[in-house]
Amino acid sequence: MINAQERLVVIPDRPVDRDLDSRTLRGVRFVTRAIAQDGGVVIPSGLRTDIFESSPEVLARHAMAGGETTAPNIGRAIAIRTNDRYGEIDVQFADTELGRDYAYLYGVNEDGENGDGIPYARGWSFGWNDIAVERWGLAKAKRELAEDYDVDLLPDGVVKKRSVWVVTRGLLKEISATPRRADLKALTRAWEKGHVREAANMVHTIQLEEAMDTIAELKRENEMDQTRIAALERDVAALHGKASPPAVPGDGGELVRELRALRDQVRNRKDG
């Protein structure tokens, strides 16, 4: 059985067209044929989009922040296009507080971040259900993906296994804006400069995700101080269990720093 993910994150590296009056971004790439850091590929032309198009909501945070159980709506995809190399949407952000916040953070404003046209956040994720999945060796992946195959960007797991999972056909379920890999300092400036409440929530989500990922990494190490990690895990659970995301940047950074220090100690012991 091939265990593919059912959600991937894409950080577009190309500018998109924006319309301030209608709060619209055009040409947002939400899927590419490149090998993702999660260890696989979704072939864009193999995605069925008809079910998504019947209710083309664009969501926020995919229920990661605070105690949310459902992801809030921030807009809609007014068009969707796929080909062999990528899939893209035109996004119209909703005329709500949250929709306007995301529009601002994703570049629908006069200046962009620092006045240079670069948005505060760029991440998008999409979820799907598998229809057909294959496993390709790296030689086949290089041959099939051609210019989208970059040996320098292969994830460690792919290099070790010498293969990738490939979703050749899938059913697109949803598309979300995600703060993953956004710049914490830029988001803090967005809150300070534009009083964008959602910027603080994104900071909270990023810190929470890093803390949870670091906890998982540390728990895999046999030489861990189990008492200390258990206490930190309780702190992470408390942070995750907040009734709602904070309105201003919180103190999750201190927890993340402590987890990083502990992770570094473990790595140094292993290397020593």
Q: Residue 177: pLDDT above 60?
A: yes
Q: Residue 181: pLDDT above 70?
A: no
Which range, of 14-18, 217-221, 239-243, averages the lowest pLDDT? 239-243
Q: Residue 216: pLDDT above 80?
A: no
pLDDT of residue 182: 67
- Residues 6+ positions from 19 with CB-CB distance below 8 Å: 26, 108
Instruction: Residue 109: name the closest of 190, 177, 30 by CA.
Output: 190
Tokens 């709060």, residue?
A: 23
Whether the full predicted model's pTM is greater than 0.95, yes or no, is: no
Q: Residue 101: pLDDT above 80?
A: yes
pLDDT of residue 161: 87
Q: How confident is the model at residue 232 (pLDDT cuts 50, 70, 90)?
A: confident
Determine contact, residues 90/23, Cβ cutoff 8 Å: no
Q: Residue 113: pLDDT above 80?
A: no
Compute the mean pLDDT over every residue in the chain, rounded to the nearest whole number: 81
Q: Residue 226: pLDDT above 90?
A: no
- Sign of the dihedral through C-alpha 234, 262, 204, 177: negative
Q: Residue 259: pLDDT above 80?
A: no
Q: How confident is the model at residue 120 (pLDDT cuts 50, 70, 90)?
A: confident
CA dist 212 and 122 (Å) reads 22
Q: Residue 1: pLDDT above 60?
A: no
Higher local confidence (pLDDT), 197 or 89? 89
pLDDT (average), residues 201-222: 72
End-to-end CA distance of the chain: 38
Q: Which residues pair with 136 in a beta bridge?
A: 164
pLDDT of residue 220: 62
Outline where the chain has alpha helix (H): 50-54, 97-105, 138-145, 156-161, 184-194, 197-219, 226-240, 252-271
pLDDT (average), residues 233-247: 65
Higher local confidence (pLDDT), 251 or 170? 170
Q: Percentage of the chain surpassing pLDDT 70?
A: 79
Tens of pLDDT along 7-30? 788 888 788 898 999 999 999 999
Tens of pLDDT along 33-87? 999 877 889 999 999 999 999 999 999 865 444 444 467 899 999 999 999 999 9
